């Protein structure tokens, strides 16, 4: 049998809303969780890259997860970003996430110090042995300088707790090879579930056998990102692709500068009031804000509840 799906469809890489003083805005967090539940989002990723995990203190991280799980109250899957470039630190964060009651973990590859492919296997196996819960790997070489190779994915998929990967390498050829290596067609067994990590590649990755996306754009287009996936699963491929293509201009703007700066700016322009990013991330230039606003206006978004 294939490994169990953690979720199927659209998982939002949720921003961490901040107050003016830079502290976490929990009331806004609860609003966002409710908003995504109402908008058909299939899972919420807390404290990932988009959630500014690298600038959260340990106490903030634990509090953010506990409050998210408590407020969600089993109405939606909650996945915690628990990656670090230190194996010991990632184990600590993963264990704290499990104590908080999250449904799964999202663990980015080590960054800055990086490692070898063998080191990746040892890193992830050490974490997987420390917490008996589903793990989603996260491959994003543009941020980490490290790529999980298809053959390494095959080794990693042998661990029962390593269920899936968020693939943001952008390399569809290697993603296809990974799926090929990790699929046993003879026994109808899929040892590694693939989620797109790039909003502009949802349909291409679904066409290779992917089961959804972990999306930045879903912060403002939750229903649309859900529908791209759901239409594809219903075999309405052309409708799914049409939605994907329609979102390409705004997706481009959301990655005009480093994430999560543009998505937070977009949410603030839409009166969602999620605050600024923490340093070292700074605001977009006035010109880029103007371009982003113009692009958003073309989609006629209106969130009356915010």
Tokens of 243: 């939605």
Q: What is the mean pLDDT of residues 32-49?
A: 97
Q: What is the pLDDT of residues 157-191, one digit of tens each?
A: 999 999 999 999 999 999 999 999 999 877 777 89
pLDDT tier at 260 (50, 70, 90 boundaries)? very high
Is the Cα torsion angle 41, 203, 136, 64 positive or negative in sign? Answer: negative
Residue 39's pLDDT band (boundaries 50, 70, 90)? very high
pLDDT of res. 2: 66
Mean pLDDT, all residues of the chain: 96
Active site residue: 3, 28, 98, 138, which one? 138
User: Which is nearest to 48 in space by CA: 5, 23, 93, 80?
Assistant: 80
Dihedral of alpha carbons 244, 248, 249, 255, sign: positive
Residue 83: CB atoms within 10 A of its CB come to: 29
> Which superfamily is assigned to 9-237 in CATH?
Aldolase class I (3.20.20.70)
Active site residue 132: no
Confidence of residue 301 (pLDDT cuts 50, 70, 90): confident
Helix (H, G, I), strand (E, B) or coil at 30: helix
Q: Which of 3, 77, 93, 166 is catalytic?
A: 166
User: Which of these, 97, 90, 8, 46, lies nearest to 219 by C-alpha position?
Assistant: 46
* pLDDT given for residue 171 in this prediction: 97
Catalytic (active site) residue 256: no
The per-residue pLDDT for 189 is 78
The strand pair at 77-81 and 104-108 is best described as parallel
What are the residue ranges spanned by the domains of the chain?
9-237
pLDDT at residue 1 greater than cutoff 50: no
**Residues 262-285: tens digit of each pLDDT:** 999 999 999 999 999 999 999 999
pLDDT of residue 40: 95
- Do 83 and 54 form a contact (C-beta atoms < 8 A)? no
pLDDT, residue 140, reads 98
Predicted confidence (pLDDT) per residue in 215-254, tens digit: 999 999 999 999 999 999 999 999 999 999 999 999 999 9
Beta strands in 5-82 (DSSP E): 9-13, 43-46, 77-81
The reported pLDDT for the residue numbered 99 is 98
Dmax (CA) of the chain: 57
Please name the residues in contact with 301: beta carbons below 8 A apart, sequence gap of 6 or more.
220, 221, 270
Which of the residue ranges 10-24, 77-91, 172-186 would you say has the lowest mean pLDDT? 172-186
């Amino acid at each position: 049998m294939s490994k169990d799906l953690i979720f199927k469809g659209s998982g939002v890489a949720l921003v961490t809303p901040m107050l003016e003083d830079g502290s976490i805005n929990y009331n806004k967090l609860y609003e966002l969780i409710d908003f995504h539940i109402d908008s058909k989002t299939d899972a919420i990723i807390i404290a990932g890259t988009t959630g500014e995990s690298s600038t959260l203190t340990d106490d903030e991280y634990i509090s953010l997860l506990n409050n998210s799980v408590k407020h969600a109250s089993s109405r939606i899957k909650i996945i915690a970003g628990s990656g670090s470039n230190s194996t010991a630190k990632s184990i600590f964060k993963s264990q704290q996430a499990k104590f908080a009651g999250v449904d799964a973990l999202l663990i980015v590859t080590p960054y800055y110090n990086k490692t070898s492919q063998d080191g990746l296997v040892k890193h992830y196996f050490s974490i997987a042995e420390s917490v008996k819960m589903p793990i989603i790997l996260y491959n994003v070489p543009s941020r980490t300088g490290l790529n999980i190779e298809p053959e390494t994915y095959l080794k990693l998929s042998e661990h029962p707790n390593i269920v899936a990967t968020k693939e943001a390498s952008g390399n569809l050829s290697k993603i296809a090879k990974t799926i090929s290596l990790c699929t046993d067609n003879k026994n109808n067994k899929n040892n590694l579930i693939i989620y797109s990590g790039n909003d502009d590649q949802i349909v291409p990755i679904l066409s290779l056998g992917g089961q959804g996306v972990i999306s930045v754009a879903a912060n403002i287009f939750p229903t649309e990102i859900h529908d791209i996936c759901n239409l594809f699963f219903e075999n309405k491929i052309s409708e799914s692709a049409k939605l994907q293509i329609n979102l390409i201009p705004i997706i481009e703007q959301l990655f005009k500068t480093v994430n999560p700066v543009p998505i937070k700016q977009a949410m603030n322009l839409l009166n969602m009031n999620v605050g600024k990013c923490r340093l070292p991330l700074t605001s977009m230039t006035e010109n880029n804000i103007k371009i982003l606003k113009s692009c958003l206006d073309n989609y006629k978004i209106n969130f009356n509840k915010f």
